[in-house]
Amino acid sequence: MAEYTIASGIARARLRDPEVKVSGDVRPDDAVSALLRAGSESYAVVTGSLGRGGTAGLLPGPVGLAVAARAVCVR
């Protein structure tokens, strides 16, 4: 299931803009730890949002908040 989710997200991102470099991995770590580690080697870390539609869809979830507060990306 995790591999399918990653592959689907990568395919959708590439359809949206083929020029943007997209990668994905399935890792055994919790989401926050894995994203923070990946962020140290990345230009940006993108996470999803909490909920669907309305204003709930605009708010970051707990993973997004934790990563946004602590991520250090390559500049």
Rg (CA), the chain: 13
What average pLDDT score do residues 18-47 get?
87
* pLDDT value, residue 32: 92
Tell me how far apart the alpha carbons of residues 61 and 21 are, in angstroms, rounded to a whole number: 25
Does the pTM exceed 0.75? no
* pLDDT value, residue 45: 83
Confidence of residue 4 (pLDDT cuts 50, 70, 90): very high
Tell me how far apart the alpha carbons of residues 21 and 10 are, in angstroms, rounded to a whole number: 10
* pLDDT value, residue 38: 85
What average pLDDT score do residues 18-36 get?
89
What average pLDDT score do residues 45-68 get?
73
